[in-house]
């Protein structure tokens, strides 16, 4: 049993549930929910060690590798929340995992560019040569999963340092900066996810739902571009005026797209605490602006964490016991 696959399997079950709902098949929805509950319980019981998900174990839970930390352990969590399917793990567990990754491997590596696999006893990475840390693991499964969990400053710091390494190496993109080549992985680069996560954004066009919960870290105005196949837009949030708008900058195709509900899943909060806001139907047309300022307090409610990476040793591990 492997921490990466355990989480991705849970995200897959969330996708299966979404398919069932989309086609109106309650038997699929029920089967997906039941299997999710069973699989989540097994993953937590067998892999969670109180601070992070162990690298892996035998199918019966024996020989758990608590001495090995893997930066892809929150892959399923990131993917499921990004897609609007909700968390696959409790938020306190996600935050504890992030704290462990920051303290154990990321803060101990130049530019926070840690090996994917880290041996705690040796206090170093143990990736095979040619398969050392991949940028898309750090960006999506660590940094952006961390941003979803409220570790905004650490997430931005990780992504900034990845690009600094790129610049020093003279590569615009490579699969593995310690062993560069012209061959890259099919899912890289994943930096395009960042604007969606910064805006807490997503769309469900058939259900006329817009997800929106921008990360507002200080009193400065923020503007975040969003790109979807049928339209582009810009989210602008002004903390001093408590104003938030979504302007449509481009519209493609003739399909009529509209929203009558806004769903907010603020960073640092569990998706079980999401806010659903009914709005007057907004039809997506180039140049139009959706003003959501009256709902500021419901949309902008981030629970951001203090930065860990700059002084990781001064932060305590977080211990979470499975109930």
pLDDT digits (tens, 9 = 90+) for 133-162: 567 788 889 999 999 999 999 999 999 998
- Confidence tier at 169 by pLDDT (50, 70, 90): confident
pTM for the full predicted model: 0.94
pLDDT reported for residue 108: 95
Average pLDDT over residues 105-123: 92
Q: Of 105, 26, 43, 33, nearest to 77 (Cα)?
A: 43
Does residue 65 have a pLDDT over 70?
yes
- Confidence tier at 189 by pLDDT (50, 70, 90): low
pLDDT reported for residue 138: 86
Q: Cα–Cα distance between 174 and 314 in angstroms, integer?
A: 33
Burial, 228: exposed, middle or buried (Cβ in 10 Å; 0-12, 13-18, 19+)? middle
Q: Cα–Cα distance between 2 and 16 in angstroms, integer?
A: 21
- Confidence tier at 177 by pLDDT (50, 70, 90): low
- Confidence tier at 176 by pLDDT (50, 70, 90): low
pLDDT digits (tens, 9 = 90+) for 78-112: 999 999 999 999 999 999 999 999 999 999 999 99
The SS3 assignment for 1 reads: coil
- Confidence tier at 124 by pLDDT (50, 70, 90): very high
């Amino acid at each position: 049993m492997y921490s990466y696959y355990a989480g991705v399997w849970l995200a897959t079950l969330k996708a299966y549930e979404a398919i069932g709902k989309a086609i109106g098949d309650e038997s699929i929805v029920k089967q997906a929910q039941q299997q999710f509950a069973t699989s989540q319980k097994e993953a937590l019981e067998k892999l969670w060690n109180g601070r992070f998900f162990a690298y892996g174990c035998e199918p019966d839970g024996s020989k758990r590798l608590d001495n090995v930390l893997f930066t892809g352990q929150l892959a399923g969590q990131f993917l499921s929340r990004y897609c609007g399917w909700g968390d696959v793990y409790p938020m306190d567990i996600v935050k504890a995992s992030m704290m462990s990754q920051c303290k154990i491997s990321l803060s101990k590596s130049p530019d926070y560019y840690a090996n994917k696999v880290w041996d705690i006893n040796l206090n170093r990475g143990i990736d095979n040569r040619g398969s050392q840390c991949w940028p898309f693991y750090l960006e999506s499964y660590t940094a952006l999963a961390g941003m979803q969990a409220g570790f905004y400053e650490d997430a931005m710091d990780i992504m900034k340092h990845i690009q600094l390494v790129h610049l020093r190496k003279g590569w615009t993109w490579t699969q593995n900066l310690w062993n560069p080549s012209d061959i890259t992985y099919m899912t890289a680069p994943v930096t395009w996810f960042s604007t969606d996560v910064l805006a807490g954004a997503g769309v469900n066009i058939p259900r006329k739902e817009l997800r929106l919960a921008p990360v507002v870290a200080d009193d400065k105005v923020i503007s975040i571009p969003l790109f979807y196949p049928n339209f582009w837009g810009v989210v602008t949030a002004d903390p001093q005026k408590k104003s938030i708008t979504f302007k449509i900058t481009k519209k493609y195709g003739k399909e009529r797209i509209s929203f009558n509900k806004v769903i907010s899943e603020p960073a640092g909060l569990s998706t079980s605490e999401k806010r659903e806001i009914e709005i007057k139907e907004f039809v997506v047309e180039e140049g139009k602006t959706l003003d959501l300022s009256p709902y500021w307090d419901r949309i902008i409610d981030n629970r951001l964490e203090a930065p860990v990476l700059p002084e990781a040793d001064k932060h305590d591990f977080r211990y979470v016991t499975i109930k």
